[in-house]
Amino acid sequence: MEFLKAASLRRLPTSRWQLSSAISRSSWVCSSCLAASPRQFTTSLPRLSAAAPTPQKPYYVTTPIFYVNAAPHIGHMYSMTLADVLKRYQTLHSRPAILLTGTDEHGMKIQQAASNKDMHPKQFCDETAEQFKELAATAQISYDRFMRTTDTDHVQAVEHFWFLLQEKGLIYESKHEGWYSVSDEAFYPESQIEKKMDAFTGEVFMASTESGSKVEWVEEKNYHFRMTAMREKLLRFYEENPEWVVPAKRMSDVVDWVNNHLTDLSISRPVNRLSWGIRVPGDASQTIYVWVDALINYITAAGFPIWQPGKTEVGGWPADVHVIGKDIVRFHCVYWPALLLALDLPMPRKVLTHAHWTMNRVKMSKSIGNVVNPMYVMNVHGADVLRFYLMFEGGIANDADYGNDDLLVKHKKYLQGGVGNLVSRITRSKLWDLREVVAARSETGRRKVLEGRVDFTRFEQSLGNLPMAVDKHMENLNPVSAIRTIMEAITEANALLSEVEPWRLKKSANQEDHDVADEMVYLAAESLRICGILLQPFMPAKAGQLLDMLGVPLAKRSFENTKLSSDFSYGEAIIPPGKGREDSLFPALYQGLQAAEEKLRIVKKERKQAKKWQRIAMKDKEVDEWWKPQATSSEP
């Protein structure tokens, strides 16, 4: 033990920035991890000194670090976008915020996937990690660090975490036997195993009742974490923090699991079965369990283990929100808090667990070919359109069903026919000058409604309450309800605009008609301004374009500017609002689809293929690549 302690202390650097280069080339660290180049934050942390005041804790939100055994899919983008919206919403409030995402690159699945492609695991991880980085960049994910578990500072953090557990007597060596799922990288108790039959092959196998994944019986000698010693602490923490897991129904599942299924956790694997990973300090025959390795990434990014006493919050820890899929709740809501409690480290403040995406109500699976590639969809429709759809339709408590047809319908109703239509009606008309309307309103104040004319009071109250309603939804980690509330305000503004018809009133010789028209135009413009500011976390590019069309100054696009009639400086467009459908804020998506259908019609005629175009096996490479972004299992 003393040898391990001395070795650990020798390896600890004296500053955060020496961390990634401080790892010695010891035999129990995978050589690929050591060879990995250090990664740094894209935004540097403040330097600390004894005399300096403690900076404000940044709002810290994380995605899962995604397993790189396969290319990213729509579920990965959903997790990323959820976390990104939460982070951007904090910056909308002018609060410092940090977003962590990245890739989980160790474990048996990676080892097998790389072997199947006849590649070294590190090379395999490098290639797949780039795909996740490309997805994040295309989807406008504003991450501050992209963590890879092969990063050298992370390897160092895992080694030190292991040493601290061992120093507390919480790790012991023992023979382990049980049902193990390679797919889930987890052991399951006998009570959670059942026989299943493959519907396609007829093969009968043992599977986890929780995940449905195939399991195999394993007997081996490895290290264990005394997780049962944390049972009472875990249950007390859950009792004191009943809303720690969102939604609440998954919190009850977590409590039930700890009460009825908690066992000591096997936290290493023999090297002869798993060689790709971080070796156990002092025992080169064992590799650290991938989930222990992976979970520690959240504190690695926050500066662990180089934390000054009382200043752990400087790097963001504890996390304000972990965003995860419902399939990894046990790892994040049982294993992770148990490990943190074992070392008396601060607990994350919330865990947002979202549901999955299906297609035609069937779980997406590569084996049945119904997986949606988000890169293809964004190449056709743009990142903001897909971000909007994922946030508007995504499921937190229940699974959501993806469909191209549904995406087009939602786009036409809420973006093209809602936001886009309203901004065109307000900014393109030659019957009024928006800048003059806004400036005049600042001078006259709210006009008294003339008897027998339109009463705008209810609409003004609704618009005035909108920011706080959205804020409440976001505080409850419910961006779905938040964006739907924003869209309801746009729908209401369009309906009132159609009812009042200011373009008709402006042609009247009656001054009172002009007054009513100006009031309507102003309130419609205010609804666009306020909604545009609130939409920035959801659709950063399109919301920015909308505010540019209205002429809202860059310095007046924060949450504090969402108060009704709080800004009278806008109205002169920064960018042209366009003249027709093609240069509108949200052009119709069917135009691209019509061109695609025409090209496919020609191909079908020439090749005399089946009538269903989505079943055509295109052999012409050019046509295949041209249509590839459109292809899913449902017809647009």
- Do the beta carbons of residue 318 and residue 349 sit within 8 Å? yes
Q: What band does 24 get if pLDDT is binned at 50, 70 and 90?
A: very low
Contacts of 276 (CB under 8 A, 6+ apart): 30, 32, 106, 107, 108, 110, 111, 114, 121, 287
Q: Which of 284, 298, 303 is nearest to 339 (CA)?
A: 298
For the chain, list the domains and their CATH numbers.
Answer: 2-168+291-354 (3.40.50.620), 171-266 (2.170.220.10), 374-562 (1.10.730.10), 590-630 (no CATH)
Q: Which residues are CB-neighbours of 329 under 8 A, at least 6 positions away?
A: 245, 250, 253, 254, 351, 353
Burial group, residue 226, by CB count within 10 angstroms (0-12, 13-18, 19+): middle
The DSSP output letter for 278 is B
Inform me whether the pLDDT recorded for 42 exceeds 50: no
Q: Chain-centre distance of CA 52, in angstroms?
A: 34
Average pLDDT, the chain: 84
Give the span between the Cα atoms of 134 and 461, in whole angstroms: 43
Residues whose CB falls within 8 Å of the CB of residue 582, separated by 6 or more in sequence, listed in order: 591
**Model confidence pLDDT, tens digit, residues 224-246:** 999 999 999 999 999 999 999 99
Q: Is 16 in a helix, a strand, or coil?
A: helix
Lowest mean pLDDT among 159-168, 207-216, 613-622: 613-622
The label of the residue with tokens 């009943």 reads 242
| DSSP-assigned states of every residue in 561-573 | GGSTT---S--S-
Cβ(352)–Cβ(322) under 8 Å? Answer: yes
Type of residue at 556: K
In the prediction, which pLDDT does 270 show? Answer: 93
pLDDT value of position 200: 60
Average pLDDT estimate for 98-104: 97
Please state, in angstroms and rounded to a whole number, the distance separating the CA atoms of residues 303 and 282: 24
CB atoms within 10 A of CB 112: 15
How do residues 447-476 score in pLDDT, each as one tens digit? 665 556 788 999 999 999 999 999 999 999
The pTM of this model reads 0.82
Per-residue pLDDT band at 55 (split at 50, 70, 90): low
Where b means 16+ CB within 10 Å and e means fewer, 354-367 reads: bbbbbbeeeebeee
In the block, residue with structure tokens 């989505």: 614
